[in-house]
Amino acid sequence: MAATKTTVDITAAMVTEAVPLADWLLVAPVLLTMAGGAISIIFRKKSATQPWIAITTIALVILSNIGLLNHVLTNGVVTMVMGSWLPPFGIAFTADPLGALLALTASVATMCVAVFAMNSIAENERRYGFYPFLLMLLCGVTGSFLTGDIFNLYVWFEVLLISSFGMQILGNEKVQIDGAVKYAVLNLIATTLFLAATGLLYGLVGTLNMADIAGKLKAFDNSGPMLGLATLYFLAFAMKAAAFPVNFWLPASYHTPRLVVAAIFAGLLTKVGVYALLRVMLLLMPEGRDWLASLIGIVAIATMLTGSLGALAQTDIRRLMAYLVIAGIGAMMAGIAVGNEVAVSGAIFYSMHSVLIMTALYLLVAFMFQMSGTFSLREIGGLYIRTPLGAGIGLILLLAVAGLPPFSGFWAKLLLVAGALEAGRGWVAAGILVSGLFTTIAVGRLWIFAFWRGGNEHTVDGIQALPIARSSDAADISWSIWLPLIILTALIFVIGILPETMMSITENGAKTLIDPTAYIGSVFGGIR
């Protein structure tokens, strides 16, 4: 233990040059959310200050993520290795445009949920830790997006999973426990597969650093084990992302938690699975992706179709939304199946769009429930009369999720279809368009039933039914419900009107994924 001066030359093993302050933006989101989570656990009894701790923390995270995205776009891929150890031994945090963009989007969605929850999570439920769990969930999600080490990715998965278990049973109802068990078991199986695949990968290439893996697998002669690993990773992450046929856990569990919780789940969790697929399939194992491309394409189309048809069949609005999440996952996987630059750019665009839109839609469901007191499409109705603004927001959000112009979903689907046609995979493009049509019908039906018609199922056209029990007036809706809805809708609208900036970011992200030179160069020095 004695501090004898060592004469060993450490330059061979450690980072010795000074690290610019801006590189700390890589770890700032994780550190901030962890500290914020810890502080909000210490003050868990003070339920009035809880939201403000969370909102302050998330605001700082958003600022730091904006800085990080800017840093990545101006200076290329950024890497910081923990503890000054040189990669591949030190654990690397590496941000490329994909990770930085998704981290920023996730923090914005979390902020909206944190504000929305001020009103909709009861005071006594805050004591069970809604806000600490929310912060730790964001910690796990941003950690997943920014880490450059595949085992570390597993660790962040665990962080976000454990927080999500806690959030899911908030309320302690029997049906929630039932949903949580399905969710937990399936996700734990997926995580175990992920861990097993990572162990095998380590046995194969002897490294866990993603850049190192990408480089070593490229030089690998025997492709058999690598293809097996790619399949294993594909199954594990497809389960997380809720792709057909391993998606049954999602509709079985997403309608049970509190709606704000479902909003953040639908916004973030499945997208982490998609992100992991993008990262592993495109950056680490492009050969494996080429080999699996047709399978991924079939899975993508089946996911899109089951999602949109499922949405058509539902009468419970919450379940309908769960199927819309699945339909979106299919579209993102279509981008991975096609795998050229345009389609991958579309998949990244869609992930970003999906984080915002799914969060917004679940918040819309919570808002609709507050206005009408029901989740059933048969019972609901007449919301247009009561809240024209709410109906407008609803229309924009529902058209956006169906991918109609001029909203953000349109550009994502445009890129996906263009990419699929360019690669000669017309059937993937057809799948995207057909599923888009079904989704349009499903959401159109939802909007007409909930907002347009005068009352519930039995209302005669042109007549407004008596107010439904438990309904409240638009004037009673607090700002903490309007604000997140309006901000998310505005973002979706603005991205839809001015997609160029976003497209250049996603294109940049796709380039970095498909050609890993910049990524590897950033981790191992040289190209910066």
Partner 1 sequence: MNTLIFRTVAPYLSALMMLFSVFVLLRGHNEPGGGFIGGLIAVSAFAIYGIACGVSAVRRAMKFHPMSIAASGLLLAVVSVLPSLFFSQPAMTSQWLALPFLGTVIDLSTPLFFDIGVYLVVVGAISSIALSLEERAD
- Subset of 122-181 contacting partner 1 (CB under 8 A): 132
> Using CB under 8 A, which of the segments 24-32, 66-74, 239-247, 306-314 binds partner 1?
24-32
Least Cβ distance, residue 40 to partner 1 (angstroms): 8
| CB-nearer residue toward partner 1: 38 or 448 | 38
Tokens found for residue 110: 């979390």
Pick the binder of partner 1 from 23, 287, 316, 379 (CB under 8 A).
23
**Three-state SS at 27:** coil
CA 521/CA 511 separation, integer angstroms: 14
Pick the binder of partner 1 from 6, 9, 12, 21 (CB under 8 A).
21
| CB-nearer residue toward partner 1: 4 or 222 | 4
| CB-nearer residue toward partner 1: 128 or 493 | 128
CA 348/CA 39 separation, integer angstroms: 34
Q: 413 — phi, psi (to 5°)? A: -70, -35
Q: Does 18 contact partner 1 by CB under 8 A? A: yes
Q: Does 251 contact partner 1 by CB under 8 A? A: no
Q: 93 — phi, psi (to 5°)? A: -105, 120
| CB-nearer residue toward partner 1: 79 or 435 | 79
Pick the binder of partner 1 from 13, 31, 463, 490 (CB under 8 A).
31
> Using CB under 8 A, which of the segments 22-30, 223-231, 433-441, 503-511 binds partner 1?
22-30
Q: What radius of gyration, in Å, describes the C-alpha atoms of the chain?
A: 23
Residue-wise DSSP of 223-286:
HHHHHHHHHHHHHHHHHHHT-TTS-THHHHHTTSS-HHHHHHIIIIIHHHHHHHHIIIIIII-H
Task: Give me the 456-495 binding string for partner 1, x by CB under 8 A, dash otherwise.
Answer: ----------------------------------------
Kindly list the distances between the CA atom of residue 503 and the CA atoms of 70, 225, 331, in Å, as whole numbers in the listed order: 15, 36, 17
Task: Give me the 63-102 binding string for partner 1, x by CB under 8 A, dash otherwise.
Answer: -----------------xxxxx-----x------------
| CB-nearer residue toward partner 1: 128 or 452 | 128
Q: Would the CA dihedral through 32, 154, 275, 40 be positive or negative?
A: negative
| Preceding peptide of 516 cis, ω within 30° | no
| CB-nearer residue toward partner 1: 34 or 421 | 34
| CB-nearer residue toward partner 1: 1 or 12 | 1
Find out whether 325 and 358 touch, Cβ atoms under 8 Å: yes
Q: Tell me which residue of 348, 42, 33 sits closest to 159, measured CA to CA.
A: 33
Least Cβ distance, residue 78 to partner 1 (angstroms): 12
Q: Does 12 contact partner 1 by CB under 8 A? A: no
| CB-nearer residue toward partner 1: 32 or 72 | 32
Q: Tell me which residue of 198, 189, 213 sits closest to 154, measured CA to CA.
A: 198
Least Cβ distance, residue 316 to partner 1 (angstroms): 34
**How many residues in the chain?**
528
Total number of residues that touch partner 1 (CB under 8 A):
27
**Three-state SS at 376:** strand
| CB-nearer residue toward partner 1: 17 or 461 | 17
Least Cβ distance, residue 512 to partner 1 (angstroms): 22
CA 304/CA 467 separation, integer angstroms: 37
Binding residues for partner 1, rule: CB under 8 A, are: 1-3, 15, 18-21, 23-24, 27, 31, 34-35, 37-39, 41-42, 44, 80-84, 90, 132
